[in-house]
Structure 1
Amino acid sequence: MKAFTDLEVWQRSRVLRNDISQLTKSFPSEEKYRLSDQIIRSSRSVGNNIAEGHGRFHYIDSSRFLITARGSLIETLDHLIVALDEKYITEEIFNKFKGDYETCLRMLNGYITYLRNQQPQKNG
């Protein structure tokens, strides 16, 4: 069994997490314990849940953590929309992150589908 760090979806979420971390350094200081904290937490949660799901024994358990990772990814996008609305980021920066989000979401959905297809089928 490969390590979770070998999973392309985890690697992609790591890049997104690191990019978000850099991005928040440009946010106003009054957002440090509000938007910055929230978007950092949600972006970290994506990779954390992929890793935890990878360590689970059963496919069903693993896919539950991936669904949680997907929720955290979607939350991250919502925080980016807030940053756009508050004019902390430009439309161009938002679109770059939205593209990264969409890539990560496709990968997560593919991995969830893969795991679900690994479950033994019930007869009858």
Structure 2
Amino acid sequence: MNFEKLDVWKRATRLSCEIYRVTAELRDFGFRDQLTRSGLSVPSNIAEGMTRTSSKEKIRFLEIARSSMAEARTQIYIGAEIGYLPIDVTKAWLQETREISAMLSGLIASLNR
């Protein structure tokens, strides 16, 4: 399966790009680095996993992507709480992370069948 055709990969890639753009001016480099890394990990692990030959390996990388999405969601909550992220961005990103996680869970379930 070509990962570039997967909606979940496209959405995760767009979110990662948004995270980079919105946090580009953030002076807390540690926080910015952690959030951009977790966001970047999601589409990267989807791509890596979907190029593996066995379903077991695909699932392993998709589970890593889903875990990274949970990590990013946690950091988004924290970023909002400490005033680093605007409320409208926070709400949109939290919704997007939930939807991407659900899409990953669906893909994992389909590979388990």
Is TM (by shorter chain) over 0.5?
yes
Alignment of 1:10 onto 2:9 = yes
Q: Which residue does 1:44 correspond to in 2?
A: 40
What's the TM-score, normalizing by structure 2? 0.94
Runs of 4+, deviation exceeding 3 Å: none
Give the partner amino acid of 1:102: R
* Consecutive unaligned residues in structure 2, runs of 5 or more: none
Report the CA distance between 1:35 and its aligned residue. Answer: 0.5
- Percentage of identical aligned residues: 29
Report the CA distance between 1:92 and its aligned residue. Answer: 2.3
Q: Which residue does 2:19 correspond to in 1?
A: 20
Work out which of the residue numbers 69, 87, 105 in structure 2 matches 1:73: 69
Give the partner amino acid of 1:6: K
> After superposition, what is the alpha-carbon deviation per residue over 1:3-31, rounded to whole angstroms, capped at 9, x for unaligned?
2111111011011101111111242x1x1
> After superposition, what is the alpha-carbon deviation per residue over 1:80-114, rounded to whole angstroms, capped at 9, x for unaligned?
11111111123322111111111111111110011
Work out the CA distance in 2 between the residues paired with 1:108 and 1:49. Answer: 11
Within-5 A mapping of 1:1-124: 2-27=1-26, 29=27, 31-32=28-29, 34-117=30-113
Work out the CA distance in 2 between the residues paired with 1:40 and 1:58. Answer: 29
Larger radius of gyration: 1
Larger helix proportion, structure 1 or 2?
2
* Consecutive unaligned residues in structure 1, runs of 5 or more: 118-124
CA RMSD of aligned residues (A): 1.0
Q: Which residue does 1:121 correspond to in 2?
A: none
The count of residues paired between Structure 1 and Structure 2 equals: 113
